[in-house]
């Protein structure tokens, strides 16, 4: 139970960070 919750949190952070990176990259080039 604890490990699955941690895994979900890790995935959420990874996806959020990726979207943030793409957003900042778009802002930089435009």
- Output the pLDDT for position 14: 98
Spatial separation of the C-alpha atoms in residues 3 and 28, rounded to whole Å: 37
Confidence at residue 1, expressed as pLDDT on a 0 to 100 scale: 65
pLDDT at 3: 92
Number of domains within the chain? 1
Tell me, what's the pLDDT at 21?
94
Domain housing 26: 1-30
Give the global pTM. Answer: 0.57
Tokens found for residue 29? 């080039």
For residue 30, the model assigns a pLDDT of 67
Q: What whole-number distance in Å separates Cα of residue 28 and Cα of residue 25?
A: 5
Q: What Å distances lie between residue 7 and 12, 15, 19, 26, CA to CA?
A: 9, 12, 18, 29
Q: What is the pLDDT of residues 1-30, one digit of tens each?
A: 689 999 999 999 999 999 999 999 888 776
């Amino acid at each position: 139970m604890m490990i699955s919750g941690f895994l979900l949190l890790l995935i959420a952070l990874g996806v959020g960070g990726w979207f943030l990176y793409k957003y900042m990259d778009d802002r930089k080039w435009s």
